[in-house]
Structure 1
C-alpha cells in the first residue's frame, strides 16, 4: 500500500505543478456544464418533473470520469515509453501497486473535477438534495466508477505501442459508452433493444445512483444493485489491467 501511496503522490504533485492540466480540467468542467447543460436544458426543459440541469449533471460528471480515465492511461503509457516504469519494476513492490497508484490518482482528479462541475451546475440552477449522506455515497460511487474505467484505460495503455495507437483503441469505449447510457435521456423512453445495451453499460448504474443519492430523483434501478455492479466492474477492470500489464512485461 505504501508503494501505491508513493506513486499516487508523484502523480498528484505533477498534476498540481502542471498548471496547464489543472486549468484544462477546470475549463472543461465549466464548458461542459454551461454550454452543453444549459443549451440542452433550454431545448428540453424538464425530465420527469425535474429540471434538466439536475438530470444531466450526473451524466456530465460521468463523462469527466471517462476522460480522466483516458488521461490516467496516458500517464502510464508515457511512463512506459520514457522508461519510468522500469524504475518502478526495479523496486521490490507488487506490480498491482503500480496500477493502483495510477488508478487512485485518476479517481482523485475525477473527484476534483466533479466538485467543480457541481459548483457550476448549482450556479446554473441544478437542485441538490438535502441529504449529506447521499452526497458522500455519490462521491464514493464516483471514486469506484473512476477506478473501474481507469482499469480499462490502464490495460489498453499496457499493451499500446504508441500514443496514437492508444487513442485509437480507447475511443472504442469512451464516447460510445456515454451515449449508450442514461446520461442524456431516461431509460423509460428508450426502445427495448437499446435498453438492453444501456443496461450492460456500467455508466448507467453510476448515473442512476448519483441522481438518486445527490439530486433526490427516484432511482430507476435498485441502489444496492448499482453499487454491487460498480464494485464488481472496478475489481474486474483492475484484474484486466494487471493481466495485460504482466503480459507486456513478458513480451
Structure 2
C-alpha cells in the first residue's frame, strides 16, 4: 500500500451517493478531492517550503542586500514598499507546485483511479485548486508575520489588510490555472517547474514589485503596464500602506476574470486529453 492509496480510498464514501444536481455533485466531489490534497500536504510538510522558507529568503535578500542601494540607505522605507510586491510574487510562484503535483498524479496513475469513481469529470482539478487555498494563506501569514518581525507595519488598519489578503488569495486561485494547464500539457513534473519559472520570473521582475515603474526604461514600462502582477501589487500596496486602490483593483479583477476565462477551459481540455 502506498501513501496515496489511503486518501484515494477514503474519499469514495463521500462521493458514491448521488445527491442534488450536477453542480451540487461537482461541489461535493471537489471538496472530497480537496481533502485528499490536504492530507497529502499534511503528510509531506516539506512540500510547503516554497510558500514558507522561500518567501522569507527572498524578503531578507532584497531588503538587506539590495534595499540600501535601491532606497538610498533607507531599508525600512524599502521594506514598506517591497513586502506587498513580494507577497504578490510569492503567490504567483506558489501555484507552480500545483501543476507539478497534478502532472505527477497523472504519471503515477492516480487519475486512472479517479476515472473509476463516480465523480464529476472536472472535480479532480477543481478540488486540487481549492486545496491550494491553504498554500496561499500560508504565504500571506508567513510574509506579513515575518515582515512585521523585521519592521514592516500595516498603515491602513485591520480590515484593509484583510481585504488585501483576500484579494491576494483570489488572484492566486485564478493565476494557478496557468500551472494546471501547463501540468496537463508537458510530460514531466520537472518540465512544469521549468516552464512556469520561465513565465513567472519575467512577470515578477518586469513589474513594480521591486522598483517604481517610473524608474524603468520606456519600453519596459510598456510591458509593466500590461503585466497582471502590476495592478495586483498596486492594490495590495494601497490596502496595506495607503495609496490609490480603486483603479488598480478594477484592473486586477479584470485580469482575474481573464485568467479564468482563458485558462480554465484550456486546462479542462488538456485534462480530457491527458487523463
TM-score of the pair, normalised by structure 1: 0.88
Return the offset for 1:133: 2.4
In structure 2, C-alpha distance between the alignment counterparts of 1:184 and 1:91, rounded to whole Å: 47
1:149 is aligned to: 175
Report matched runs for 1:189-228 at 5 Å: 189-219=215-245, 221-228=247-254
Q: Structure 2 residue aligned with 1:85, among 111, 115, 131?
A: 111
Return the offset for 1:155: 0.5
2:20 is aligned to: none
Return the offset for 1:160: 1.4
Return the offset for 1:24: 5.6
Out of 106-115 and 78-87, give the one that drifted further.
Answer: 106-115
Q: Structure 2 residue aligned with 1:14, among 40, 47, 52?
A: 40
In structure 1, C-alpha distance between the alignment counterparts of 2:78 and 2:72, rounded to whole Å: 5
Out of 104-113 and 221-230, give the one that drifted further.
Answer: 221-230
Q: CA RMSD in A?
A: 2.3
Contact 2:234 2:248 in 1 (8 A): no
Unaligned runs of 5+ in 2: 1-26
In structure 1, C-alpha distance between the alignment counterparts of 2:203 and 2:93, rounded to whole Å: 12
Tell me the number of residue pairs that the alignment of Structure 1 and Structure 2 aligns: 247
> Aligned pair 1:26/2:52, yes or no?
yes
Unaligned runs of 5+ in 1: none
Contact 2:87 2:143 in 1 (8 A): yes
Return the offset for 1:46: 7.0
Q: What secondary structure, in the 3-state scheme, does the structure 1 residue paired with 2:118 have?
A: coil
TM-score of the pair, normalised by structure 2: 0.81
Change (3 A) 1:59 1:234: farther
In structure 2, C-alpha distance between the alignment counterparts of 1:46 and 1:145, rounded to whole Å: 32
Report matched runs for 1:168-207 at 5 Å: 168-207=194-233
1:68 is aligned to: 94
Contact 2:38 2:131 in 1 (8 A): yes
Per-residue deviation, residues 49-72 of structure 1 (Å, max 9, x unmatched): x81112111222222212211101
Larger radius of gyration: 2
